[in-house]
């Protein structure tokens, strides 16, 4: 409640945007009308018929500005959490923000450097090269003569982003209380991931480290180049990098006019991205055409490493297994890889999951390899996982999104190129690595070490368990898949034993009475009662009752 009071003006803007695009019922059900004192006549319970849900969500985010646009852009990478029709609209989101003044840019640079800008720069271009929600880029020349690109954080962006992140978290919590679908699509997880991603992106020192790390991957490359970072002049709010001249891939017509071989460009780009993903496990997560330049010498230059993905060795193994299963069109292989990749809920229906993947596989059965879109196939598989509430690591979904973006770029450059064909040598390398004797030996040693640690911990854990049991603070739940069948068999055995014992007892009693009567040659009368006759009748009734009970239970 304190958040809503503190940011009442912003909540009002959000409520107005929601109502403008047919989400007035959400504002009403979350109780924002009472908090913001909005007129009830503003509520609209009818949804625009001609506009899809995804498009209305996109329009709301665009109306609310940079923080919400960036949230939508991040959400567009989560094909494992959101349905396709919403993803397709979110990928259209573009940051449309005006640049801030060059005076503000210079002032912030001087704050960060602690000296007048003239002491470091020979020249500074007033007009920015590019502007985004978090910062903008200006060209300049250092006193030492190197041309640089200077990325400067937008003034006041920390405060604005902090406010909107706080509101997003509060609204996600409110929505989760009112609608099951919010929990189903795990909106709170997306908001948390978004908050972490934005906070990381606002600290330019992270981008500097990412740039240097990816640059190290291509030190010996003939076709890929990464701009150098000038660490002495870079801070958390100012990033100074080597200025590189070239043509972005978004200007493909200009590339053709200047005689560049688009097929070679597409192949080098694909091989560079696949190397990052499958060999290094650390990759550029947003390879859109504006982030890739072609230099005069034909080299490709990757720009903007604010968003990167990272895969552990284990995840690389699982991913290679998924790609191999996809190439072999193996349903079991795909199911196995997805189960290993994510967190599977206890109530996940594995047979239904297998059936859904089998149906998805059938879409690719008749397609030749050169027509299979790997990014689309991976995103489709992650979508199946989402429907079964299997939680995948965010970096894997980033990879799926990066692959989709890459395929879109390649299609514009040369539609005949198959990423699957280019991925084949990387797949062979991964398999060679996977079954490398040194690696297997290392895994065995790690397993032995882990087992040893577990065995050493056993006495202490047993002692703790014993203490809990003695205090009555432990509950034991035993689940036996064939428990009902087992109990039925036990019932049958016990009933048969009971029946046999009763028959035996009846026989012994009757035989005893008959023998006694024969030896004494006297009628079997005890206290003037016909003992044998009455005993026979009682025993017979007991046997009949027992037989009736056993046969009625159906467990004889």
Catalytic residues: 286
C-alpha dist (Å) from residue 371 to 246, 361, 526: 31, 14, 100
| Residue in 178, 181, 182, 296 with CA at minimum distance from that of residue 245 | 296
Contacts of 118 (CB under 8 A, 6+ apart): none
Beta partners for residue 142, in sequence order: 121
| Residue in 209, 244, 211, 213 with CA at minimum distance from that of residue 137 | 244
| Residue in 231, 235, 242 with CA at minimum distance from that of residue 301 | 242
In the three-class reduction of DSSP (H, G, I as helix; E, B as strand; rest coil), residue 153 is classed as strand
Which own/partner contact pairs does 418-423 have at CB distance under 8 Å and 24+ positions apart?
A: 418/369, 418/370, 418/371, 418/372, 419/270, 419/274, 419/373, 419/374, 419/375, 420/327, 420/369, 420/370, 420/372, 420/374, 421/369, 421/370, 422/267, 422/270, 422/271, 422/274, 423/274, 423/278, 423/323, 423/374
Q: Say how many residues make up the chain.
A: 556
Round to whole Å and give the CA distance between 186 and 467. 39
Round to whole Å and give the CA distance between 387 and 345. 12
In the three-class reduction of DSSP (H, G, I as helix; E, B as strand; rest coil), residue 151 is classed as strand
Round to whole Å and give the CA distance between 179 and 21. 19
DSSP 8-state symbol, 92: T
Phi, psi of 128, deg, nearest 5: -70, 150
């Amino acid at each position: 409640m304190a958040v809503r009071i503190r940011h009442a003006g912003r909540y009002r803007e959000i409520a107005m945007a929601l109502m403008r695009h047919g989400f007035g019922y959400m504002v009403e059900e979350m109780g924002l009308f009472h908090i913001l004192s909005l007129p009830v006549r503003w509520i609209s319970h009818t949804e625009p018929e001609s506009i899809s849900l995804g498009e209305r969500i996109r329009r709301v985010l665009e109306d609310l500005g940079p923080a919400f646009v960036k949230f939508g852009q991040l959400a567009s990478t989560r094909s494992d959490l959101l349905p396709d029709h919403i993803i397709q609209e979110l990928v259209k989101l573009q940051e449309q923000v005006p640049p801030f003044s060059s005076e503000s840019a210079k002032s912030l640079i001087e704050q960060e450097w602690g000296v007048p800008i003239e002491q470091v720069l020979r020249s500074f271009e007033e007009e920015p090269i590019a502007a985004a929600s978090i910062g903008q880029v200006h060209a300049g020349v250092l006193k030492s003569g190197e041309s640089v690109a200077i990325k400067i954080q937008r003034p006041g962006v920390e405060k604005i982003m902090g406010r909107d992140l706080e509101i997003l978290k509060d609204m996600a919590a409110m929505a989760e209380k009112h609608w099951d679908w919010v929990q189903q699509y795990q909106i709170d997880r997306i908001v948390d991931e978004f908050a972490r991603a934005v906070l990381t992106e606002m600290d330019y020192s992270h981008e500097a480290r990412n740039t240097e790390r990816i640059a190290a991957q291509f030190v010996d490359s003939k076709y890929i180049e990464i701009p150098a970072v000038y660490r002495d002049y870079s801070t958390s709010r100012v990033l100074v990098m080597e200025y590189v001249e070239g043509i972005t891939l978004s200007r493909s017509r200009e590339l053709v006019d200047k005689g560049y071989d688009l097929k070679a460009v597409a192949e080098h780009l694909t091989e560079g991205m696949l190397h990052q993903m499958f060999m290094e496990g650390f990759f550029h997560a947003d390879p859109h055409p504006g982030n890739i330049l072609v230099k005069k010498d034909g080299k490709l230059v990757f720009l903007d490493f604010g968003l990167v993905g990272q895969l552990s060795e284990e995840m690389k193994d699982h991913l290679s297994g998924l790609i191999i299963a996809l190439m072999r069109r193996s349903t079991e292989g795909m199911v196995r890889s997805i189960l290993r990749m994510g967190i599977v809920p206890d109530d996940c229906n594995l047979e239904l999951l297998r059936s859904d993947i089998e149906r998805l596989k059938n879409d690719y059965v008749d397609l030749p390899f050169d027509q299979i879109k790997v990014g689309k196939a991976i995103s489709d598989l992650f979508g199946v996982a989402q429907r079964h509430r299997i939680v995948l690591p965010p970096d894997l979904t980033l990879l799926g999104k990066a692959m989709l973006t890459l395929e879109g770029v390649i299609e514009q450059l040369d539609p005949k190129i198959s990423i699957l064909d280019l991925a084949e040598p990387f797949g062979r390398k991964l398999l060679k690595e996977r079954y490398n004797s040194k690696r297997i030996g290392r895994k065995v040693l790690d397993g032995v070490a882990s087992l040893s640690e577990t065995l050493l911990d056993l006495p202490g854990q047993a002692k703790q368990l014993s203490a809990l049991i003695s205090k009555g603070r432990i509950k034991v739940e035993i689940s036996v898949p064939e428990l009902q069948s087992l109990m039925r068999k036990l019932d049958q055995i016990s009933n048969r034993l009971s029946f046999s014992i009763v028959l035996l007892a009846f026989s012994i009693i009757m035989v005893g009475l008959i023998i006694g009567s024969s030896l004494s040659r006297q009628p079997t009368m005890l206290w003037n009662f016909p003992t044998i006759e009455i005993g026979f009748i009682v025993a017979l009734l007991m046997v009949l009752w027992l037989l009736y009970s056993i046969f009625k239970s159906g467990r004889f």
